[in-house]
Amino acid sequence: MKVVLLHAFPLDERMWELQLPALATHDVTAPNLYDLGGSSIDGWAQRILDEVGGDLVAVGASMGGSVALAMARLAPERIRGLLLAGARPDADSPERRAGRAATIELIEGEGPLGLWENQREKLFTETAPEAAVELAREMALSRQMPDLVRAVEAIRDRPDSTGVLQTVPVLFGLGATDIFFPPDEAAAFAEGAPRGRLVVFERSRHLPNLEQPEEFNEALLELLDSVG
């Protein structure tokens, strides 16, 4: 059984560095989603399914969680479990789609730095480890503008994946102060999933694997043990 780590926007696969030691005994792959081409969550999911064989546990943060859900929707027989960190299973509402348009406008007008300055306080708490914030900044600023725009388009246009919650074990891992997907909203999805569970990381916002890596790794290993 393989573990696929799927990164958040506007970061990349380096965001999982603090998880890799905990997964040393597992077969792990962490693709760079921007390198997969196109601007489709389903397209990225299918590319990964085609390139990584066998049964999988998909661990996705934010945008990566949307890819994980798409993988489970496209190949439910291969997905043993999901860990969704700050990832909504539903499609964008009209209000959220309008927000995506504003984000694209920001990227096109101010580039990666403008996006980072807009996102910093939405991704991390004020007490986040400095090294984690600096790593995230480095990743965000290393992206090219077209990559960022394609990613926002992919997130905006993703299909609804709530049906997946009925078919696979799913762990929602949420920061207590997540702005994009508050824990009370996640709780409703978890309660409606036959094998759903919610873990709230009290000192995190949108990226608990970076703010509370030890606690996140513990939850991840527990999921792997339960579906292995």
Q: Is 225 exposed, middle or buried (0-12, 13-18, 19+ CB in 10 A)?
A: exposed
For 178, the token pair is 């997540």
| E strand map for 9-156 | 27-29, 56-61, 79-85
Give the sheet arrangement for strand 196-201, strand by strand: 27-29, 2-6, 56-61, 79-85, 170-175, 196-201
User: Rounded CA gap, 121 and 128, in Å?
Assistant: 10
Question: Does residue 61 contact residue 86 with C-beta atoms inside 8 Å?
Answer: yes
Q: How many CB atoms lie within 10 A of CB 216?
A: 26
For 163, the token pair is 């049906």
Mean pLDDT of residues grouped by 10 in the chain (228 residues)?
A: 96 98 97 92 97 96 98 97 97 95 97 97 97 98 95 96 96 98 96 96 98 98 94
Position 1 scores a pLDDT of 81
For 196, the token pair is 């759903």
For 107, the token pair is 């990227």
| E strand map for 98-181 | 170-175
